[in-house]
Chain A
């Protein structure tokens, strides 16, 4: 298998990487580039813990070949905060105790961030729907839903419908 160079934007910086065909974005980000907020839960698209944003859309990086992100914008949890300043979604997760073991948190936060980009005032049902691909085995879903509502309120005013 011949390796090839793929260029894309990662957390605001342009990168060129050399990968073998069908290398997953998860493997590249974690193992080669050290972005370990991209978690491994199942490697089969079943748990959502490896979710990153590609051009703002949540995608499971364990199912995504690196070649597919050529020329696109990839954001991991490491790219969300502005320096020491947390993103409002991170802040809301922290303050609402929407974290237990923390392993699903990166995926949950990325999905929630994408949701609020598209929908400034999601209803409870819309939040639940958006999070439906992400598993929290500590079963702390209620604080997570509260955190997304809190973040919506802070970012866009008025709060949840």
Chain B
């Protein structure tokens, strides 16, 4: 028999591997890297949420001392992309640099390469844009109303699901049992409308990278991305070069929180390095980080629950509208996560869920700490308190009564085999000094084995 490696880390304090670098200031972040002859890249951004782009006049920008060259959509080998193409999400919908229209305030239109950051910024300020504003779509429900301006090329303001199965579903759907019948049988109907707002991650270190051409024809890209290989692959696809032409160096991130998951600075910086043969730094200013970078998406959720006098939830109907902003980014995927979790960690025999990925003329939404699921948890738990109040039960009780047990089936047909909610709530009650009635104290995640599966 092979002796098992002793597991002895849990319960001990392990010094942080990067801690000494952090407290001495010796940790090197992307912006601390510089090379001789390094250029700085800055982006001309859309000042309007939606409109036609008729032209870009670079003549005054080119006169700024230190100006080296500009990049427009014509310079980008595969200009229109979508990040999640790597997991099969299509169609490509986002231009690296705008072509003939702009879709949100802050959308990149052209890039300027200059000898200094100041010169690049000055040149950006001298670029004249010929823009024709259109009426923007700014609300998820307005976007879906008949007659709303259609802002996406495929003809709907929502993502089309299940195209890979030959279907065209307007939203992510989950169905279990018969909610309408259960609503008729329910003692109470409890409804709620929940809205979360966009949140900027605001890392203290802004998003950035340095792309450096190497003598062997490869490019080394130092970056603070949170998704190193994901970003490498997308950069190669956009630049239409083999993956092995790129060497990404990362791992040191001065705060991300999901905000550095999108593929934003690396393709342009690498393209700049390809076009000039010089190292290129592209780093967001604080203003760009706050206004142009994407934020946590906003979610609007409508709940209708059928509840019995004893506190059991027998039906839940949810319609959610996720604001993806102007482009897909990660939202089609976040919607699926949301649909899988919006029934909450509770056993409900009849469930009906529709979750729409909606496009508006806002900054694209992106990942942030459990995206898709966090808004669901917020709505679910406020709804649980509302149900407790309606039925006249303690908020603890309503959760113990409905908590899913091992063997229960979830709306998406997965049988629960890792339930811990009851045990977690029992421990939480102890920690806050709540005197839990015996009936809940004696419950267990295993007390319904095979019951509602």
Binding site for B on A (CB under 8 A): 30-31, 35-37, 39-44, 46-47, 49, 76-78, 80-81, 86, 90-91, 93-95, 97, 99-106, 109, 135-138
CB distance from A108 to the nearest CB of B (A): 10
Chain B 234-271 per-residue mask, 1 if CB under 8 angstroms from chain A, else 0: 00000000000000000001111100000000000000
Contacting residues, chain B, for A49 (C-beta < 8 A): 204
CB-based closest 3 A-B pairs: A37-B25, A103-B254, A102-B22
Give which listed residue, A30, A37, A86, A101, contacts B203 with CB less than 8 A: A101
Of chain A, the residue at the smallest CB distance from B25 is A37
A43 touches B286 (CB 8 A): yes
Tell me whether A103 and B205 are in contact in the complex, defined as CB-CB below 8 angstroms, given that A42-B286, A94-B15, A137-B257 are known contacts: yes
**Taking the complex as formed, is B442 at the interface, i.e. its CB lies under 8 A from any CB of chain A?**
no
Q: C-beta contact mask, B29-70 vs A, less than 8 Å → 1, else 0? A: 101101000000000000000000000000000000000000
Is the Cβ of B16 less than 8 Å from the Cβ of A99? yes
> Inside 8 A of B203's CB, which chain A residues have their CB?
101, 103, 137
Inter-chain contacts of A78 with B (CB < 8 A)? 24-25
Bound Cα distance A29, B257 (Å):
29
Known interface pairs A36-B32, A37-B25, A137-B257. Does A99 touch B204 (Cβ–Cβ under 8 Å)? no
How long is the Cα–Cα vector from A109 to B29 in the complex, in angstroms? Answer: 18
Q: A94-B19, A103-B255, A138-B255 are known contacts. Are A76 and B25 too (CB-CB below 8 A)?
A: yes
Given contacts A39-B204, A41-B286, contact A94 B20 (CB under 8 A): yes
Asked whether A86 lies within 8 Å of B204 as measured between CB atoms, the reply is: no
Show 8 A/B contacts (Cβ-Cβ < 8 Å), sorted by A: A76-B25, A94-B19, A94-B22, A101-B205, A103-B203, A104-B204, A135-B204, A137-B255
**Cα A44 to Cα B287 with chains together (Å):** 10
The interface residues of chain B lying within 8 Å CB-to-CB of A31 are 34
Cα distance, A161 to B415, chains bound together (Å) = 55
B195: Cβ under 8 A from any A Cβ: no
Of A47, A90, A93, A103, the contact of B29 (CB 8 Å cutoff): A103
Q: CB-CB < 8 A to B18: which residues of A? A: 99, 102
Number of interface residues of B (CB under 8 A): 31
Most buried by A among B19, B34, B254: B254
Instruction: Identify the closest chain A residue to B28 (Cβ).
Output: A36
B3 close to chain A: CB less than 8 A: no
Instruction: Kindly list 6 other residue pairs between chains A and B, CB separation below 8 angstroms, not including A94-B22, A102-B254, A103-B204.
Output: A36-B29, A37-B26, A86-B23, A86-B24, A99-B22, A104-B204
Chain A residues with Cβ under 8 A from B21's Cβ?
102
Is B169 an interface position by the 8 A CB rule?
Answer: no
Choose one: A81, A97, A135; the contact of B24 (CB below 8 Å): A81
Q: Which residue of B lies closest to A110 (CB)?
A: B25
A46 CA to B203 CA, complexed, in Å: 13
For B19, list chain A residues within 8 Å (CB). 94, 97, 99
Nearest CB of B to A107, in Å: 9
Residues of B with C-beta under 8 A to A76: 25
The interface bits of chain B over 177-220 (1 if a CB of A lies within 8 angstroms of the residue's CB, else 0) are 00000000000000000000000011111100000000000000
B202 partner residues in chain A, CB cutoff 8 A: 137
User: Is the CB–CB distance between B255 and A93 below 8 Å?
Assistant: no
Residues of chain A with a CB closer than 8 A to B15's CB: 94-95
Interface-centre pick from B16, B23, B28 (highest chain A CB count, 10 A): B23
A41→B25 contact, CB < 8 A: no
Which chain B residues lie closer than 8 Å to A97 at the CB level? 13, 16, 19
How long is the Cα–Cα vector from A35 to B28 in the complex, in angstroms? 11
Q: A97-B16, A103-B255, A137-B255 are in contact. Are A77 and B286 (CB under 8 A)?
A: no
**The one of A80, A90, A91, A137 that contacts B204, using a Cβ cutoff of 8 Å:** A137
Contact flags B272-309 to A (C-beta < 8 A → 1, else 0): 00000000000001100000000000000000000000
A41 and B286 alpha carbons, distance in the complex (Å):
7
Q: Are A101 and B253 in contact (CB under 8 A)?
A: yes
Of the candidates B16, B23, B27, B204, the one whose C-beta lies within 8 Å of that of A41 is B204
Q: How far is the CA of A72 from the CA of B256 in the complex (A)?
A: 37
Residues of chain B within 8 A (CB-CB) of A35 are 25
In the assembled complex, which residues on chain A have CB atoms less than 8 Å from the CB atom of B206? 40-41
Query: How many Å lie between the Cα of A160 and that of B120 in the bound state?
Result: 50
Complex: A39 Cα to B254 Cα, angstroms: 10
Q: How far is the CA of A86 from the CA of B286 in the complex (A)?
A: 32
**A101-B205, A137-B257 are contacts. A43–B23 as well, Cβ < 8 Å?**
no
Q: With A and B bound together, what is the CA distance between A100 and B31 in angstroms?
A: 18
Interchain CA distance A39-B29 in the complex, whole Å: 9
Chain B residues near A37 (CB-CB < 8 A):
24-26
Cα distance, A81 to B25, chains bound together (Å): 10
